[in-house]
Chain A
Amino acid sequence: MATSHRKRMVDQPGFWGFLFICPWLIGFLCFTAGPMLTSFWLSFHKYDLVSIQNVGVENYRRLFTEDPLFWKALKNTIFYALVSVPLGIIGSLSIALLLNQNVRGQKLFRVCFYLPSLVPAVASALVWQWVFNSDNGILNTMLRMVGITGPQWLQDERATPWAFALMSLWGVGGGRMVIFLAGLQNISDSYYEAAKIDGASPWRCFRCVTMPLLSPVMFFNLILGVIGAFQIFTSAYVITGGGPNHASLYYALYLFQNAFEYFKFGKASAMAWVLFCILLCLTLIQFWTSKRWVYYEGGDK
């Protein structure tokens, strides 16, 4: 009886599949889904690691109505996303286009442009701190050469948001560029040849051939870029700690401070869920608009 039952299990179509993804599945349930559910539960509690107390939606109410820093952090983060995502996508695409050219040393160039993304985030943050040094930094020194007095990048609250947006350019040569490059290489040469025969200029080729065919890749990078921008943390944590005057207090940094510096785990969990909802909405909006500008080769889908 037992053996026949067992046999039936093994014969189930999903059995081997589940068996093989079992390690991932267990990991996901224990280390991702579990903590997520816990944080959802915690967001309705006041928890400081010692005592726990159900407070209903008080954490959410306080966030929205009584915490100016929450709004400041959200505003900072939206500004960062608005500047850094387009900047990053244009940067990555430009590099990908250049690296897609058939020139000598192509492989070397690809390695060189990819290298910065291998530097640990903390180390690159420290390098940027030097770049932005308003007195001796390379950026202001160069500005001085052309007669411009650069701002106090990391001390002036008006300049700091721009400094962080510029810093995000460090990542343009990374994974996003590689994905663009792969997308470019997938575009068949025959389209370009046909366009050339019709007398299309290089710009026309880019606009009417490259862009439409690259739009699914662009869409993918846009979604990941927005999510990534909303999660900016390391550079602000290392360089300014949120200052000056909270100009670089980003959402994830404020969440971290609440959880691990002030031990307000309920509030931090509520913040995490608010962020989750924001990102979900933004992603859904992007999917909705994508119907108008994303073109999938060989089908409607």
Chain B
Amino acid sequence: MFNRPRLLLKSLAILVGILAVGCSSDPFAGKVQIRYMAWGNPEQMALEERLCDEFNQKNPDVHVSFLKVPAAEYGLKMMLMLASHSAPDVMRVDHYNFPRLVKKGYFHDLTDLAAQDPTFHREDFFPQAIQECLYNDKLYGLNVLFGGVLIYYNKSMFREAGLEDPAELAKNGNWTWERFRDSAMRMSQKGPDGRYTRFGFGAPSSGSTFPVLACAIWGYGGDMLDPKLQHAVFDQPGSVKAFQMLADFRWKDHCSPTQAQGENSLYTFESGKLGMVFDFMGMTPRYRKVIHKFDWDVCPVPSGPFGHTTLCKGNQLVMDAETKHPKEAWRFERFITSQSTEQELYVDLRRCFPTRKAMAYSKAYLQTSKPPFNNWAFVDAIEHSRPLPINDRWSEWTNAFNSEIDNLIAGRERDAGVVLKRAKQKVDKVLADEEGF
């Protein structure tokens, strides 16, 4: 049988050996270590992992380790890491969270690093992409996964209904909200049991139409907050008109699924049950992959009396204010936002929109062999785009706002003017409230 003490000794020796080997051969000794944190779907994570590897190969003096965090936990985890002074050197942050975090002084000011970098020229980028990264006129991030909202439309459905192509209408300036409503109503169809088999259009999520349909508000000359983002202006006639129209699309015109109908993805664009869908540019790879049964393309959002303006939003690549290696971290940030990376991610794979103007206007971007073919519509969207009114209390005031318009969306209340007046009062109260209580 086994000799117990001897066995114990042997295993102890092996353990010590393993520990010794593990400690002595640090593969990254002498290198500057950078930690990078991001979230995303598996494809996005694989891409970023590859970019990190590539960077490590090209930069023998630096080692970047990639920390992948599930999307659902990301915001909270980042917040706690920042608060406990253990944040990674470089992080990707969703713009919804950027204003409130940058205000707390968590991020490194990149203005000087950018000024000292001879390859960084602000004028190369779309101004909206830079604007999102500014705080008190200083640069605190580089924009990634940038893009705007536009319309994906089912070309086959338009053709069957005998409707004019919306992209062609947009080129001539005739793609208006009236035209949009008419097209959507003519594409909506009921089955023999009285239920709708398809709708003219839908917003991407089953829930609130806000903020994806901010383009309606802007198109009618309305707005959400004042320019300083300090109080609500939903009671402006333009905003009321836009919200009334959006509610009527569901409850009067029946050309868009109601919240209950749209739940559980019963009507999706990819299943051919929606004629049009408002969504971000990043949906392109998914639609390319799953849609084979009908022709589809993209077109700008409809124009109102005040023209057409859509929203744009990105993520920011930020640096921890306490990083010990800002220069190396900057090099890494520049690498994953470099021209060649943007070429691959946004021009070839169409994950989002390039932040560089030259790239968006290039032939490679505008002419593709796969749908969507109206690539000018992406460029048009960014040219006519505005960032959302995201301030440091975005989550709190949108929560108050959404709860107030819930009844409008659910069809229990029909008068947008009354609802928005109440919403304004509530949001103003949130914004005026002393912070932290």
Contacts and interface: CB of A to CB of B under 8 A. Distances in A.
A90 B79 CA distance: 44
B437 A245 contact: no
B437 A59 contact: yes
B408 to A, nearest CB: 10
Interface in B73-104: 76, 79-80, 82-83, 100, 104
Contacts of B404: 245
Contact of B83 (A49, A135, A264): A49
Main secondary structure of the interface of B (DSSP, over half): helix
A245 B259 CA distance: 14
Nearest to B208: A243
Contacts of A257: 399
Contacts, number: 81
B264 A130 contact: yes
A111 B266 CA distance: 34
Contacts of A47: 436
B410 interface: yes
A130 B264 CA distance: 7
Given A156-B412, A245-B407, A262-B396, A49 B261 contact: no
Interface in A146-161: 152, 154-157
Most buried by A among B80, B260, B266: B260
A266 B437 CA distance: 7
Interface string B154-172: 0000000000000000000
B260 A50 contact: no
B260 A155 contact: yes
Interface residues of A, number: 34
A160 to B, nearest CB: 10
B105 interface: yes
Most buried by B among A62, A154, A244, A260: A244
A115 to B, nearest CB: 23
B437 A267 contact: yes
B98 to A, nearest CB: 15
Interface string A38-62: 0000000011111101000011001
B266 A135 contact: yes
B359 to A, nearest CB: 36
A49 B79 contact: yes
B29 to A, nearest CB: 35
A162 interface: no
Nearest to A257: B399
Given A50-B104, A244-B403, A135 B261 contact: yes
B260 A246 contact: no
B402 A243 contact: yes
A134 B409 CA distance: 15
A171 interface: no
Contacts of A260: 76, 79
A260 B258 CA distance: 31
Contact of B436 (A134, A244, A266): A266
Given A62-B437, A260-B79, 14 more contacts: A47-B436, A48-B435, A49-B79, A49-B80, A133-B263, A133-B264, A135-B195, A135-B266, A243-B402, A244-B403, A244-B407, A245-B404, A245-B406, A262-B396
